[in-house]
Amino acid sequence: MTAPAESPAAFLRRAADVLDDRVAALGDNRGPWYIDNEETRPYPQTISNIGVPYVVARTFDGQQIPPYTALYIAGMHPGVGRAFATVLRAAADDAEACDRQNDRHPDLDGKTRVMHHPMTIAAFQAAQQILKAETHG
């Protein structure tokens, strides 16, 4: 007998847990983050933590690295990860409500089916990317 497939709600909650674990692992380096040298945009650019001073990341030397790379990294700080984990858990609640109403959900193997709310579908797609990165990281 094979084990039942993970429910969509469990899948979403597992992705939320991954995000929470990643934020917790950062310790004092939880953001928000900013670019130290954003005004002059020299290369490499340095992304630092607000509050407890840490260098979070540096882009590579050279003009081939667009300045928007550092802007994106700084903008996606751990506070965003924590907020998105909350969104994933809300989507999991919606998925459970759909299950109770006997609605259908996308299978975890990517087959398309009908889901109750478009935001839940988007959250499910994001969760797939988070967990894909987890298995390759």
Same domain for 70 and 86, yes or no, is: no
Same domain for 41 and 62, yes or no, is: yes
Tokens of 82: 């924590």
Same domain for 41 and 68, yes or no, is: yes
Distance CA 91, CA 85 (A): 10
Same domain for 124 and 85, yes or no, is: yes
Same domain for 135 and 98, yes or no, is: yes
Same domain for 83 and 136, yes or no, is: yes
pLDDT mean across residues, the chain: 79
pLDDT at 3: 46
In the block, residue with structure tokens 């109750």: 116
pLDDT digits 0-9 by tens, 34-69: 888 877 666 778 889 888 878 888 887 666 777 778
User: What would the DSSP string read from start to end of 83-134?
Assistant: HHHHHHHHHHHHHHHHHHTT-----TTS-----S-HHHHHHHHHHHHHHHHH
Same domain for 20 and 39, yes or no, is: no
E-assigned strand segments in 28-70 = 33-35, 46-49, 55-58
* Parent domain of 71: 31-75
Edge-to-edge strand ranges of the sheet holding 46-49: 33-35, 46-49, 55-58
Predicted model pTM: 0.77
